Amino acid sequence: MPSHSASAAERGVVRAMLFADVKGFSVLTDEELLVFSERVLGAFAAVLQRHRQHVWHRRTWGDAVFLVLTDAPAAADCALDLQDAMASIDLAAAGLPGHLALRLGAHLGPVARYHDPVIDGPDFTGSHVTRTARIEPVTPPGAVYVTEPFAAALVLGGRGDLTCDYVGHMLTDKNYGRLRMYRLRRVESASRP
């Protein structure tokens, strides 16, 4: 029988986290929800398969996706690939409304792995998970917003192919507090509007 308590090594380990959702999901019809699951979530699953060596944990409910990844560079690549996957879907041809758009929030901080008794499986928790969840709702559709620790980790990791443009000291969702936020982009797209 597996142990349900987390070891000291599983508490307070620093990981990158992503929260994503699709703006416009809540107004989809039952028929559109089935198409969404196949086309949109299917596209996300393909991205996660390519990044599987860096994905520690994944969870989804509806249009929401929560990921824990090894580090900020791996999470940045995954987040941008998720945005590319969303942008590559011909929504009209799939029978979905054209207003659907992915927004992603990313953060780097300590997390704790624990056994969730409701799902009877592993999950991650901690104040930094909550902080990440509060970033995504204030992120514009089509963007990836990251915190200062996440942006700093990319710079320290020598990721010259990525840029983090400062967007301000922003109030997060549900009055969780203000965070210095940056928009993550690939360098070649930095000059595009």
Can you give the residue ranges of every domain in the chain? 11-189
Answer yes or no: are the C-beta atoms of 147 and 176 closer than 8 Å. no
What is the mean predicted confidence (pLDDT) over 8-36?
89
- How far is it, in rounded angstroms, from Cα 2 to Cα 130? 27
Q: At what angle do helices 72-88 and 148-156 cross, to 10 degrees?
A: 110
Q: What is the pLDDT of residues 87-141, one digit of tens each?
A: 999 999 999 999 999 999 999 999 999 899 998 988 999 889 988 989 998 899 9
118-130 burial code (b ≥16 CB/10 A, e <16)? eeeebbbebebbe
- Those residues whose C-beta lies under 8 Å from the C-beta of residue 135, and which sit 6 or more positions away, are 19, 105, 106, 107, 145, 146, 147, 172, 173, 179, 181
Report the DSSP pairing between strands 144-147 and 101-116.
Answer: parallel
What backbone torsions phi and psi does residue 84 show, to the nearest 5 degrees? -60, -40
The predicted structure's pLDDT at residue 3: 40
SS3 assignment, position 69? strand
The predicted structure's pLDDT at residue 11: 66
CATH number of 11-189: 3.30.70.1230
The pTM (predicted TM-score) of the whole model is 0.88
- Those residues whose C-beta lies under 8 Å from the C-beta of residue 73, and which sit 6 or more positions away, are 153, 154, 157, 159, 162
The predicted structure's pLDDT at residue 127: 87
- How far is it, in rounded angstroms, from Cα 80 to Cα 114? 28
Q: Within 13 A of 19's CA, how many CA atoms are on the CB side? A: 20
- How far is it, in rounded angstroms, from Cα 135 to Cα 38? 27
Q: What is the pLDDT of residues 146-179, one digit of tens each?
A: 999 999 999 998 888 999 999 998 877 777 778 8
